[in-house]
Structure 1
Amino acid sequence: MRRLLPTAIAATAALMSLSSCYLGPDPVQYAALAVVDGRPTAVVAVCGRPEIGVDVHRDDNTDDNDLRIWSVTVTLPHQVRDVEVELLGAARPGWEITSRDGEIADTGLGAIKVVQLTSFEAGHRYRLDSSKSGPEGTKAPAVSFTTADLTGIGPGQVLAAVDRDDAEVVSRDAFVKDSCG
Structure 2
Amino acid sequence: MDAGDAALLRRAAGTRLLVLDVDGVLTDGRLLYADDGSETKAFHVRDGHGIKLLLAAGIEIAAISGRRSAAVDRRLAELGVRHALTGREDKLAALGELLQQLALGDPKAIACVGDDLPDLEIMEPAGLGIAVADAHPEVLRRADYRCRLPGGQGAVREVCDLLLAARREARR
TM-score (norm 1): 0.30
Between structures 1 and 2, the one with greater helix share: 2
TM-score (norm 2): 0.31
Identify which of structures 1 and 2 has the higher relative contact order when contacts are C-alpha pairs closer than 8 Å and 6+ apart: 2
Between structures 1 and 2, the one with greater strand share: 1
